[in-house]
Amino acid sequence: MMGVVCMINTSTHAGYYDDRVFTAQNQEMPLSLIKQEDDVVIYKKDIIVRSDELRAVQKKDAEEFKAIEKVASKRADIPSLAMVDKYLKDGKKYEARNLLSDLFIHGTIPEKQKEIKDQLDKLNEEIIFSPAPYPDAVMYTVQPGDALARIAKRFNTNYELIMKTNGKASNRLSIGDQLKILTGKTKILISKRDFTLVLLLNDKYVKQYRIATGRNNKTPIGMFEVKNKMKEPVWYSPDGGVFPYGHQENILGTRWIGFKDKPNLHGYGIHGTTQPETIGTESSNGCIRMLNRDVEELYDFVTSDTEIVIQE
């Protein structure tokens, strides 16, 4: 049982002037600089370049350079997307996914975030959510006496995730079965402003979910650790009632992922909801709300060492 608050460089370039040589035919003497009042004139027989003209050329060059720099910065991301296409054409889906993940997480091309997300979700259907072998997983051969729970513990994962990844409807195993087991560290990134939760595995995108946050900015920001997990959680209301799962007053939905307490921060966590219409709004008592189907999927990835980062 638990108490629940929710009741539950850029670098800038100055104008520059490239080395230019002003010459005339049959001229061998060096250019001489002569001070004339407040101006400078460069004389060399039939070549006369006034300093104000020189400054105009320098200014024009600087403006052209800045314009080129601006276009180049806009085009800097094109090679990345071109590389994604090349990876896909070469059948390198894992490499394409990793590059797209970096572009998405860092928001490198804001206007293409949705397109990149759609590509990531499609690729991860095979890389993450299928039995196909990939570098983020090991292929395990079932041995005599094996059980899913023991295998999951050995690899610091959850047996439910092994079942989902391998398309198993039950936890029954047969000796010699090949199981894909995802390995590595999971992390959760939550954006209050965007009402989104992004799940990462080994710092790469797995999936993004829509969420609800606390009304009146009650959801705290910072880094949190997992305290406990519960299926079909009981809700301890801040107003005093205790409501079992399924009770009409229990708003926690089907799953609870609790955060370790911090000074002045007690009882926070991630949970499902009986109010799906509130997703995408500030509506909870401070916890993160998710659709039940989404929190159930997230729940299977979360382990005791999953790191949760909440930011504005």
Residue 6, pLDDT score: 62
Structural domain contains residue 34: no
163 plus 223 within the same structural domain: no
What pTM does this model have?
0.76
pLDDT in tens, 126-137: 999 999 999 999
Separation of alpha carbons 40 and 33, rounded Å: 7
| Residues tagged active-site | 271, 287
**71 and 120 both lie in a single domain:** yes
Q: How many domains does the chain have?
A: 3
Q: What's 271's domain CATH number?
A: 2.40.440.10
Query: Whole-angstrom Cα distance, residue 233 to residue 255?
Result: 6
Whether 215 and 300 share a structural domain: yes
Same domain, 108 and 194: no
- Answer yes or no: do 199 and 303 share one domain: yes
**CA 147 to each of CA 100, 139, 153, 179: distance values in angstroms, whole numbers, following the listed order:** 36, 16, 10, 12
Residue ranges, the chain, pLDDT below 70: 1-79
Range of the domain at 194: 186-311
61 plus 116 within the same structural domain: yes
Per the CB < 8 A criterion, the answer to whether 285 and 7 are in contact is: yes
Interval 179-232: pLDDT, tens: 999 999 999 999 999 999 999 999 999 999 999 999 999 999 999 999 999 999
What is the C-alpha to C-alpha distance for residues 129 and 165, in angstroms, rounded to an integer?
5
